[in-house]
Amino acid sequence: MAIINYFEKHLKTFTVKAHKHRFWEIICVTDGAGVIKTENNQVVEYKKGQIICIPPNLQHINDSSVGFKNIHLTIEDWNPPIQRVFLIQESDVSRDFCNTIKTAYHYFHQYPINYPINLAYANVVEAFLDILIQQSNTARITQIIINEILNNYTDTTFNLDQAYNLTSLSKEHTRKLFIEEYGISPSRFLLQKRLTLAKQLLSKKDEGYLRINEIAQACGFDDQSYFCRVFKKETGVSPREFQLKLLEDNKIY
């Protein structure tokens, strides 16, 4: 169960020196703008209305030329599927979250950390954060996977882990988001792209001189036998039978 173990405000501030926390730090920016700089050279610019999530044990500096105000907390036993500083954009949900934080701040400084109302607010904060991260990440993360597949599906050395490694989420969580948005898994999408190209090559007259193993290579399969097995499983016929059927039906272009 998540526990809020630190809760504070910054009134108008220009610089917070290098520091780090044992747990995730969540910052609701209530005024101004600035930049977070981390020890691993990540730079995140923020402004009023946004929420900053900073991982545990990551040294960082908060700097602003115009000054900023915020409410910030650290939350224990919360394990989001992100591994770096993450910025949540302003939305109706984020505004509700920041309003909740303002109320929770009052009770945190009035009662002990483990007081029932503070434990309840910690659960609400955790639930809000999970929703916000999913909403902010889904479109961007799935587009990264789509782009990487489209750019590399004809490469026999391409591995989906290359795409997964470009995201800030775990492999399994990324796969789940992709399925929710597109109805199929990334591996299924990759296979469909390769088989669609294979059918196109098999049905083109000017590609008629390509051997099956050459078509397999051109479509991203480094093993002809595997290509033939997968093709037959998906279409019901082998690549050669598929081509012969097109010839019989006069559908070779």
Taking the C-alpha atoms of residue 191 and residue 234, their distance in angstroms, rounded to an integer, is: 10
Taking the C-alpha atoms of residue 235 and residue 217, their distance in angstroms, rounded to an integer, is: 19
pLDDT at 206: 58
The pair of three-digit structure tokens given for residue 151, joined into one six-digit string: 């750019």
Assign 250 a pLDDT band (cuts: 50, 70, 90): low
What is the arithmetic mean of pLDDT over 242-253? Answer: 71
Q: In this predicted model, what pLDDT tens digit does every residue of 80-121 receive, in sequence order?
A: 867 778 888 888 899 999 999 999 999 999 999 989 999 999
Write the CA distances from 49 to 55, 93, 204, 240, integer angstroms. 20, 11, 55, 60
Q: Which amino acid belongs to residue 12? A: K
Locus of tokens 């990440």: 137
At residue 200, the 3 state secondary structure works out as helix
pLDDT at 253: 46
Q: In this predicted model, what pLDDT tens digit does every residue of 184-204 receive, in sequence order?
A: 899 999 999 999 999 989 887
Taking the C-alpha atoms of residue 31 and residue 248, their distance in angstroms, rounded to an integer, is: 71
Q: Are 185 and 179 in contact (CB under 8 A)?
A: yes
Assign 178 a pLDDT band (cuts: 50, 70, 90): confident
Tell which residue, 222, 43, 28, 56, has the closest CA to residue 125: 28
Strand partners, 63: 15, 35
Q: Which amino acid belongs to residue 66? A: V
Taking the C-alpha atoms of residue 242 and residue 245, their distance in angstroms, rounded to an integer, is: 5
